[in-house]
Amino acid sequence: MQDCLTLKKSNCKNCYKCIRHCPVKSIRFSGNQAHIINNECILCGHCFVVCPQNAKQIVDETEKVRVLIQSGNPVVVSLAPSFIANYDGVGIGAMREALKKLGFYDAEETAIGATIVKKEYDRMVDEDNRDVIISSCCHSINLLIQKYFPKELECLADVLSPMQAHCKDIKQRIPNAKTVFIGPCVAKKDEAEHYDDIVDAVLTFEELTEWFKKENIELNKEITKIEESKARFFPTTGGILKTMAKDNPNYTYLAIDGVENCIAALQDIESGKIHNCFIEMSSCVGSCIGGPVMEKYHRSPVKDYMAVANFAGDKDFDVSQPDAADIRKYFSIIELKSKIPSEYEIQNILHQMGKFSPEQELNCGSCGYDTCREKAIAIFQGKAEISMCLPYLKDKAESFSDTIVKNTPNGLIVLNDALEVQQINSAALKILNLRSESDVLGDQVVRILDPGIFMKVQQTQKGIYNDRIYLAEYNRFVEQTVIPAKESHMLICIMTDVTEEENEHQKKEEISRQTVEVADKVVDKQMRIVQEIASLLGETAAETKIALSKLKESIADE
């Protein structure tokens, strides 16, 4: 199988949407990137349609077609009948005119090949005496059976697809012709590549429109209806049946669209519940007009069906019906490489995912797999990673955050917009003398703390950091930080108990104050002593002076 779908790695955002929508889970995740497993892929294109990042790309063959045109050989377009739904109001005449401007030799409707195919289906129903016949127009359904339901290959109509039947018819009518199919399908690129010398290249409607734009070619709005065009119904659900005779009373004719529905039908066929049926199967819901590369990228099933129905006639195209052997197609089994794990290996992986009992297997589907067992098998096969399990990641993240919250010495309180307590850890309970979370969860914060700081942060949306306050009712000093969690509309309060630090600080201040008081007393006392000494010295000096004066006078008298 060629790589019709590729991945732009930088765009893959690990969202798992592609695996959720992949009906056969043929996508592998490694290094947070999606990788398509070609051996298992049925090219239904669902991953291309649903990818929100446009990470999936369809290989563009425009340049290959340009080379074919430049070769000088006549290059003829086989245009899928769904074109009428993709290009509003543009008929085959206008499309042929525009395509010739691009250098094509001619353009015809694939519905011509569809007429050949439906006639062969009618012959098979009437002559081949088969039990169950499954249409083989849809290459994705063919791949589904070849890979996942090989026992039902005998039911698959061994007939060329309308694309192949038409291109083979073109090459028989036009010497040296090269053929290019244009339609809404990814799988047709692989079908053309796999079966040599029938279809030389395949373009999608998107690639064609882009080419028209580059060449400044505008499509004329004109439709000419012809009655010999019944096979134009082929791209609709039940469209093949609409063109068939359906006149064999021994057969039940039914149409099934969507891969999941087709898988369910194939399982019923495999179990022997279905007999004597002709089943039209289409991988796309709505058949080809619901194809992955219908350029408009939106579902307009009623409008598109009406466009096809109004364009289709009541009679068959005039074709030269080849012998059955000339349009025979052989399908082989495509072996899948994935190994199936033992029950022990599945259980071991489930345990690694935190699933130790059936009750823990939530089967939520967030990883893209329907059940946890399917996910475990995918992990064993190297398609998935344990980290793709959302509940596992959630539990792991919660466990990690809970460990931090429970063991931090800081008190943590989380409030909502209404200033109601949403979460409180054990450190905060201890600070606020609360017994348990239930005592305060859901209550207004005013019940336990002054709401002023919270109201201020809520109004300004600016955090307040390391605000030291005294909680009188709890006889504690705390450093309080309040920050807004803007995305979750929460307020987070972080409290650090600094009571011991504050008490120690106050003790030091008291000691300092007492020391100052003692020093002041000592200074005062010393000053008094000095003053007393000075006073005594002054009295002694006066007495001495008097005594000496008297002595002097006594001596003078003598």
Helix (H, G, I), strand (E, B) or coil at 110: coil
Burial of 225 (0-12, 13-18, 19+ CB in 10 A): exposed
Q: What phi-psi label fits residue 114: left (phi over 0), alpha (psi between -120 and 50 degrees) or beta?
A: alpha
Q: For residue 339, give Cα distances in angstroms to 30, 342, 379, 382.
A: 18, 10, 11, 10
**pLDDT tens per residue, the chain (558 residues)?**
457 777 777 678 778 888 889 999 998 887 778 888 888 999 998 888 888 888 888 889 999 999 999 999 999 999 999 999 999 999 999 999 999 999 999 999 999 999 999 999 999 999 999 999 999 999 999 999 999 999 999 999 999 999 999 999 999 999 999 999 999 999 999 999 999 899 999 999 999 999 999 999 999 999 988 999 999 999 999 999 999 999 999 999 999 999 999 999 999 999 999 999 999 999 999 999 998 888 655 568 899 999 999 999 999 999 999 999 999 999 999 998 778 888 898 899 888 888 888 887 888 877 778 888 888 888 888 888 777 777 766 666 666 667 777 788 899 999 998 999 998 998 999 999 999 888 899 999 999 999 999 999 999 999 999 999 999 889 899 999 999 988 878 999 999 999 888 888 878 888 878 877 877 787 788 888 878 787 777 767 667 667 666 666 667 665
- Cα 327 from Cα 317, distance rounded (Å): 17
Burial of 319 (0-12, 13-18, 19+ CB in 10 A): middle
Closest CA to 163 of 190, 131, 128: 190
| CB 165 within 8 Å of CB 136 | no
Paired residues of 253 in beta bridges? 278
- Cα 400 from Cα 200, distance rounded (Å): 58
- Cα 223 from Cα 374, distance rounded (Å): 50
The sign of the dihedral angle between the CA atoms of 538, 542, 543, 544 is positive
